[in-house]
Every structure is written in C-alpha cells, then in structure tokens.
Amino acid sequence: MGIYRRSEAALALILALAFVIGGDAQESTTTVPAIVTFGDSAVDVGNNDYIPTLFKANYPPYGRDFVNQKATGRFCNGKLATDITADDLGFTTYPPAYLSPQASGKNLLIGANFASAASGYDDKTAILNHAIPLSHQLQYYKEYQAKLANVAGSEKAVSILKDALYILGAGSSDFLQNYYVNPWLNRVYTPDQYSSYLVGIFSSFIKDLYGLGARRIGVTSLPPLGCLPAAITLFGFHQPGCVSRINTDAQGFNKKINSAATKLQKQLPGLKLVIFDIFKPLYDIIRTPSNYGFTEAKKGCCGTGTVETTIFLCNPKSPGTCSNATQFVFWDSVHPSEAANQVLADSLILQGIDLIG
C-alpha cells in the first residue's frame, strides 16, 4: 500500500463532504465554521514557542516537510492529524496558536488552538513541565470568545462557537511525564485510580466547555503508550516489543473515558461528544507497519529515535536522522510522522462524521 493511499471509505467520505461543503468550509454555513483545540503536544501548533519551557519544536528538523519547510512548533516533520482533518473539512488555513501574533483579527474567525506540549488533564503535569495547564487553556478560550465577538459581532460569534468543532487531546503526558516518573504519585495512586482522577477532570472540563457554548466535541483516547519508542527505552527494561503494562493502563483509561462520555451525553442536552479511538489504528500500524507502507515502527526518524523529543535531543545536529520520514511511523521518540498522522486522520474523519453532520 502506498504511504499516502487513503482507505476507500475515507475517500468516499471526503468526497461527500466536499459535495456538501460546495467550496471553502470557512465560508460555508453547512459545515463547521471553526476548529477550537485544547490539549498537549499531539495537537499543539506552536503555543509553546511563546512560553519558557524545554518542550518546543520551533527549530529544525521539526517541520522539514511542512509548508515552506518551516518549523512552527508542531512536534512532527509535517502536519498533525488535526491539520489533515482541517484539510479534509475544507479549511485553507489552520486556526492559529492562541499565543502567536497570528491570533488576531479575522484569523480568529476560523477558531484557535490553545494546546500546549507537555500539558495534560492534571494541571500538575503542566506545571511540572512548564507548560500551559488545561485550566489555563480554558481561561484563554474565554478571552478568545470576547475577541471573537469584537471581530465578528456578538450574534455571529455565538453562532460560530455553537457550530464549531472542538478537539481535546490530552492524557499521554499525564502518564509518561508525570505518573510513571513521579515516585510519590505512583505510590499514592494505582494506575486505575489515577485514570479515574484524570477522567474526573475530563468530565468537569467538558461540562465547563459545554457551559461556554460548545456542542460538538471530539476527544482523542490515549494511544498505545507502551509502544512509543521513548516508553520502550525508559520503561521496557531491555525487553523486546511494547511495554504491555503501560498499554494495559492506557486501555483502562480509554474504557473509563468512554463510559464518562456516555454519561455526559445523557446529562447535557444537545451535546455531541465523540471519543476518537487512537489506540487501535496506531497499534495496528505499529504491529504490521508494512501493511501501511512503513518500514520502521520501533524508533523515530530523528536521531537515534529512541529518546529524542526536546531541543536537547532532536535538533539540527542530531546524528543519524533519516532522510525519508514517510518510511517511519514515528518522527521522534514520542510523536507520529506526518505519514502516520495521515492514517490516523483518515480514522478520525470516519469516527467523527456525527460531529460534522
């Protein structure tokens, strides 16, 4: 299978969306007028460029396959899965990182991105990593609402926010950069208890977002954390393959968040809430990479591909960085390559049809 060959179902759906849109989604009243994003590095498009943190991706080789070979702060060689989803929905430009100079004027009409690499559901995860806590991302969103009203007018702003697609992607940093490396935390909580704690925060966040007008919300599940090259390096104890206990923890969390989402939909009238299953499609790619056109699924493209994910490890001088990232499932030791994000985006658009219908 060619690396960018899309499934027949995904192609059919995208063609159907194009027919419905009839042009640019940013000017259409029949599809989402804007995309609003919260979360961590899986969806951060550059907010961390503007805060004092080690977790930045605004330097080469990040972005080497993005538009104009520009490193924007995306933790990828190119587009994130959410960028590709925006493409599929007809957007010709991407909602800006809220802290960037681009987040002003008419650019705000298509949404905004509040995500911050190394953040999570647990505000303590973000504080530990000097990222933007999820609670603070929500405060930025309230600021955005006021700015949007100034640009579009109050009535139009309410309409945009009601029909916008909201995306939340978090949880990975809570486990990999907090729970598993924090002796105090993993003595106080079992993985199951910590999952319940995080899901409680998730439920409160969704209720708050709903109270601020959001009605179409897509939330990514945890990926197979135990298969990330960094997790294998740090927690695999030199055993081959994925770290099964970490994958088990991720699946336990995913089960809880799905159950919580079902309850929230019953409690909140008019809410469309979809939990996007990231675990299975990424696990399938990792397990049988050749079926998807990949040759390497155990390490990332950048440097050794086993630990690289910050400025000190994945940078222009990283030795051994691959020349063709399309052959790699992972770009660095944590984040998928654009080619893998393409496969994930196909899955997202199919799973989220109810959100944009």
| Alpha-carbon distances, residue 65 vs 80, 221, 259, 338 (angstroms) | 11, 26, 38, 8
List the catalytic residue out of 40, 172, 335, 337: 335
Alpha-helical regions (H) of the chain = 8-21, 81-88, 123-128, 134-152, 154-163, 172-174, 183-188, 191-211, 229-235, 244-267, 279-287, 338-351, 353-356
Check if the beta carbon of residue 93 is closer than 8 Å to that of residue 100: no
List the catalytic residue out of 40, 41, 119, 347: 41
What's the sign of the alpha-carbon dihedral 101, 102, 103, 106?
positive
List the catalytic residue out of 40, 65, 122, 332: 332
Q: Taking Cα atoms as reference points, which of 163, 301, 180, 181 lies closest to residue 248?
A: 180
Rounded distance between C-alpha atoms, residue 89 and residue 84, angstroms: 9
Known active-site residue 119: no
Known active-site residue 346: no
Residue 328 β-bridge partners: 296
Check if the beta carbon of residue 176 is closer than 8 Å to that of residue 120: no
Known active-site residue 41: yes
**How many residues are present in the chain?**
357
Longest dimension (CA), the chain: 59
The catalytic site residues sit at 41, 332, 335
